[in-house]
Amino acid sequence: MIEYLIVCPLVFLAGFIDAIAGGGGLISLPAYLIAGLPPHAAIGTNKFSACMGTIVATWKFAKSGFIHWKRALPAVATALSGSWLGAQLALLVDANAFKLVMLIVLPLTGFYVLFKKPFQANKSPFSDKKTILITLILGFLIGIYDGFYGPGTGTFLILLLTAVAHVSLNEAAGTTKVINLATNVSALVVFLLNGVIWFPLALVAAVFGIAGNYIGATYFTSKGTGFVKPVIVIVLTIFFIKICWELLVS
């Protein structure tokens, strides 16, 4: 019972945050580890509940008209290929070296979010063809990051889509959910085939994750930019603390 009491509330919170700004895994995965699951079981069980929640958030964004399917679906293919490449690179590159780079990237990203007004609708939109091309490239790059390391993937993708591809915050969030869903399903299949998921806990946690994602997606559609910005700053702060801790104990 203690496992459920630890995991379920935190998975709900993770789903709520993930639907708004990405980065929910920074909360949900440690919850499974704190509850005492072995690392592989924690990752697989977390992926199950995260995938179920992402399905609901994606449906909610699609229903609200936030997903531009013509732009989002091609980026799924490049994200999946990038994720495979990132996983291969992870076998060759020391993760601690990457974490040191993130110690610089995260504060700069936080500064950008706080002071550069990234979600204001003052950027001239690109042509549909140019937007698709940029989205394809961003999908590939964020896929590499996801395969190599992973945390905060959704947060970075939302920021990149709004800053580089000049899409609206709503479309950026919708595209991010479609890509997240595809990569989550791909990873989930691997964990299912290897039998590392603790299904009793995964199924109950999935209900909480679904609820968190649904409420988070509802808040996003009603609150918009004013609510997303502080949540992203919180995610970046948690991520920064996580990396500092991992470097200290490694």
The Cα–Cα gap between 51 and 63 comes to: 18
What is the pLDDT at residue 109?
A: 86
Q: Which residues contact 225 (CB under 8 A, 6 or more apart)?
A: 119, 120, 169
Question: What domain range includes position 114?
Answer: 2-249
90 exposure class (CB count in 10 Å sphere: 0-12, 13-18, 19+): middle
The pLDDT score that the predictor gives to residue 242 is: 86
pLDDT for the residue 183: 85
Tens place of pLDDT for every residue, the chain, 250 residues?
888 999 999 999 999 999 988 888 889 989 998 898 888 888 889 989 999 999 999 999 999 999 999 999 999 999 999 888 887 887 777 777 778 888 888 888 888 888 777 776 667 888 889 999 999 999 999 888 887 777 788 899 999 999 999 998 899 999 999 998 888 888 888 888 888 899 999 999 999 999 999 999 998 888 766 778 888 888 889 889 988 988 888 7
Query: Per the structure, how many domains does the chain have?
Result: 1
State residue 203's pLDDT score: 95
CA distance 231 to 34: 23
Tokens of 135: 């989205």
pLDDT, position 67? 93
- The pLDDT of residue 4 is 92
